[in-house]
Amino acid sequence: MARNIIIDTDPGQDDAVAILLALACPELNVLGITCVAGNVPLTLTSKNALQICELAGRPDVPVHAGCDRPLGRELVTAEHVHGSTGLDGATLPDPKMKLQEKHGVDFIIKSLRDGPEKTITLCPLGPLTNIATAIKQAPDIKQRIAQIVLMGGAYFEVGNITPAAEFNIFVDPEAAKLVFNSGIDLVIAPLDVTHKALTSKKWITELRNQNNPVCEAVAGWTDFFERFDSEKYGSSGAPLHDPCVIAYLIAPELFSGRRINVEIETKSELTRGMTVADWWGVTDRPSNALFLGDINADGYFSLLTKHLAKL
């Protein structure tokens, strides 16, 4: 039986690839997509999600707009990475699909309350504002969530938006703190994993050789955001962050990690949004997450090509 998931996202080129991967996999049943402000403002993340569904040939997937700002802070966005649209690098037609009327947070709550307990996995790919808001509004759903598998945070790789913080957690650290302290089963794909799976010219060429509109779009997006990471890190490719969440659900054997305690820093000006990961077990704080630390990069990119070529 396919695993039921809700994708919470702020597309973003790598979010787009994650969504496409999920829609291509028969092992996953995407109940809906909820959008949040993050890489770009909510109006754009919502439009981008609609465009991605249409690119995948899946106009049946409901897309809901969620929160347009963090819980208690001004929104920080990342057009410097993703371009003005969030999906620069491939031109997609304006969507014919329409957003659902129900707010994304309400959709999450209703889906969890209406479905059997522990049968829906939440897959946040951006700031955790929608997830935290849902938990605040309906604490009963905590017991109904099968698992939260998210992209965010870092330990050995420290930060990519500040010296200490990864972008998704930095944008809304209060939301992240609430989710990390919720008692829900968490799996975290941090920069420590995503930075071990870099795109390459060979892989982009392989995508283009599929003669497939989806693969062509992914190749264009990858070409675009590679330039930022190559300049920043001096690498030949770029990390493809968010698809790690979906790949973990499909093929967890590609990943390894440790179940540890992870806390979120919200007060310090220097380390706001830091994921304080007790990788070495030096505190007596109880573990609250599986923190992924390694990935089979070749297997990961083979998985992506295999499934994207189906769309």
Catalytically active residues, by annotation: 241
* Residue for token pair 């969507």: 95
Residue 238 CB contacts under 8 Å (≥ 6 apart), including other chains: 198, 199, 222, 225, 226, 228, 229, 230
Rounded CA-CA distance 100/46 in Å is 10
Question: Is the CB of residue 12 less than 8 Å from the CB of residue 242?
Answer: yes
Q: Which helix (H) or strand (E) holds 260?
A: strand 255-260
Beta-ladder partners of 264: 275
CA distance 55 to 240: 19
Helix 104-114 × helix 129-137 angle, to 10°? 60
Residues facing residue 193 across a β-bridge: none
